[in-house]
Amino acid sequence: MATAMVQGALAANLSLTSVPFTLSSRTVAAPTGIGAVMHTVDAGGPKGAAEVGIAQAGLDGLCVHATQSVNLPVIGSLGTWSLNISSPAAATPLTSDQLAGGEGLQARKLILDAQALKTSKATLTASDATPNVIGAAADGNGIKGSGINDGTPGQFGLDATGGRTTIEGLKADANGATIAGAITLPDLTIGIAHGTTSC
């Protein structure tokens, strides 16, 4: 009975509360690059955030990790709990070519609202005809092509949609994430654990 109550409380709190989370992946390949703009969110924390758009993403593994303090009426605090949503990376790391070619996890129009996005290495490919533009208009066509459709005219943006972007060791501290299309998650695991253990 107590276990059922705890699980029910966690489900209700996690679905109704805006809880920052961490999204990580070993490697991400974006065949048509990425876009990014500054915007404002209200998630109970810092107001400033970046919106990062990836029109097509191939990911070698995915981990979404959120923590939350749980309090119940009468009972009181149940401490900190973690929700982990994961699909493991391949046993042998996938290359950017493999991910861009359709292997790994595939997501269409992946949009992250991130307070911080860190990588161990990022390669943003471009050409003379389609250069990467730092300071592009936040409502420009390239940024819209990455899936970001709410960029404010005149605001700062990064348009790196001129070629493939490869991100290694992605870690995003995010307020939200959306995927407009379907995503296939092999060996998907969704688990709740007491404490702050990540996947």
Instruction: Evaluate whether residue 166 is within a structural domain.
Output: yes
Instruction: Evaluate whether residue 140 is within a structural domain.
Output: yes
98: left (phi over 0), alpha (psi -120 to 50) or beta: alpha
Domain extent at residue 65? 36-194
Instruction: Evaluate whether residue 163 is within a structural domain.
Output: yes
pLDDT at 8: 37
Instruction: Evaluate whether residue 10 is within a structural domain.
Output: no
19: pLDDT confidence band, cut at 50, 70 and 90? confident
CA–CA distance, 96 with 109 (Å, rounded to integer): 18
Burial tier of 95 (Cβ tally within 10 Å: 0-12, 13-18, 19+): middle
CA–CA distance, 185 with 62 (Å, rounded to integer): 9
List the one residue out of 106, 119, 160 whose CA is nearest residue 23.
Answer: 119
Residue 46 clears pLDDT 60, i.e. is over it:
no
pLDDT at 44: 53
Instruction: Evaluate whether residue 180 is within a structural domain.
Output: yes
Residue 133 clears pLDDT 90, i.e. is over it:
yes
Query: pTM score > 0.85 for this model?
Result: no
